[in-house]
Amino acid sequence: KGKFKKAQTVAPTMSTSDRVDEFGNEKIKAIFISMDLESFQQEYECHHIDETVSFYPLSLINRCAFTKITDDIFLEEDEYVEDYEKPPIEKRYPKIKFTCHDNIDDMIAAMNKGIIKGPLHGGFDVGRRKHGAEFIMAEDAPDGPAIVRGHICFNGSDFEAMESELGRAIEQLNLHSLKIDETGMGIELAENMTKRYPGVAEGVIFTNMWKQESATHVRRLMEVQELAFPNERRMKSQIHSIKRVVSDHGNLRFDAEKNKEHHGDILWAIAMAVEDLREFDSGSIDVAHAAEETKIPTRIIKRPVKRLIQISAPSVRVLPGSALLDPTKLPPL
């Protein structure tokens, strides 16, 4: 009772992460680490989420965007290179050379130079006439975040050309996995690729549940800066276009705002590429939900063999969220 009384007076002035750490039971702490910050605030702190707001705020996107290098000469340090303010993700990982390429040949060259070191995983969102197909290749960097290393857009290409390029990526870049949108027109292409490359290529059906889980996974990666992508207007715009909408039946739906140019295809290609690259351990109670924080957080990451991340440093603070209206309403163990 004493703790609940204290919570009623102290909790309203605390951030969500501090409230959970101070007053949450083990069940609440496990739930907190398994959800993105906004979802937790909505479900457990009676915080209303504006459905007109992007699921990926620009402030969050910019924390994960790196400067796109168009020529290797800019990677060399000499007296002719001017200092510039590095983006947050580059400050966070100063030893990583962040590059992204729009063709396979340049990616092969980057691998030969040791710039791309980790295994690559692909995600392919199928499109043809109205919307172009988007091919994302992400590196599972051994000492860094999941990095978008390749982004190839197919505008008006036929399926034979797409299939040929995907096969070339698997064979020449040694893709460890390739997930292909088999919803609608992509079903035949996905079927052909899974037959040609069993164990590597895999079809994905874009159900509402898959979109919810994948969009949330991408956001959680971004919140702890475990995902990096190039600072490109088109890519950032498509990520920012995704909104979380509650249907009349109370179900969540994740879709891009209505427009003629895209359906957030790049975001879904990224989601497929990084789907299996990072997993959060629900046993690690203290999690850094840092989406609202401008200061680059510091945390300890342990990387077991199965790519399991344990976020254990409770040093990150976020801006105060809504208060727990009644701590006694917390669900029991």
Q: What is the pLDDT of residues 63-114, one digit of tens each?
A: 999 997 654 544 455 444 445 578 999 999 999 999 999 999 999 999 999 9
For residue 321, report the phi and psi dihedrals to the nearest 5 degrees. -95, -165
Q: Which residue has the higher pLDDT, 272 or 1?
A: 272
pTM: 0.69
Question: Is the pLDDT score of 307 beyond 70?
Answer: no
CATH of domain 52-277: 3.30.420.240
Contact in structure between 25 and 330 (CB atoms under 8 Å): yes
Do strands 308-311 and 301-302 pair parallel, antiparallel, or not at all (unpaired)?
antiparallel
Contact in structure between 239 and 215 (CB atoms under 8 Å): no
For 30-34, 218-222, 257-261, which range has the lowest pLDDT when averaged over its residues? 257-261
Question: Is the pLDDT score of 181 beyond 70?
Answer: yes
First to last CA, the chain: 16
Going by the DSSP 8-state scheme, the letter that residue 101 receives in this structure is B
| CATH code 3.30.420.240 region(s) in the chain | 52-277
Q: Report the share of the chain in percent with pLDDT over 70.
A: 69
> For residue 96, what is the enclosing H or E element?
none
Report, as an integer, the average pLDDT of 16-34: 81
Cα 142–Cα 145–Cα 147 angle in degrees, nearest 5 = 100
Contact in structure between 243 and 53 (CB atoms under 8 Å): yes
Question: Is the pLDDT score of 315 beyond 60?
Answer: no
Instruction: Name which of 197, 186, 199, 179 is nearest 275 in CA terms.
Output: 179
Amino acid identity at 25: N
Cα 229–Cα 97–Cα 233 angle in degrees, nearest 5 = 30
Report, as an integer, the average pLDDT of 111-129: 90
Taking only the tens place, the pLDDT of each residue in 190-242 is 999 999 999 999 999 999 999 999 999 999 999 999 999 999 989 998 999 89
Contact in structure between 267 and 60 (CB atoms under 8 Å): no
Amino acid identity at 275: E
Q: Which residues contact 83 (CB under 8 A, 6 or more apart)?
A: none
Q: Is the dihedral of CA 91, 41, 31, 318 positive or negative?
A: positive
Instruction: Name which of 228, 320, 309, 226 is nearest 33 in CA terms.
Output: 309
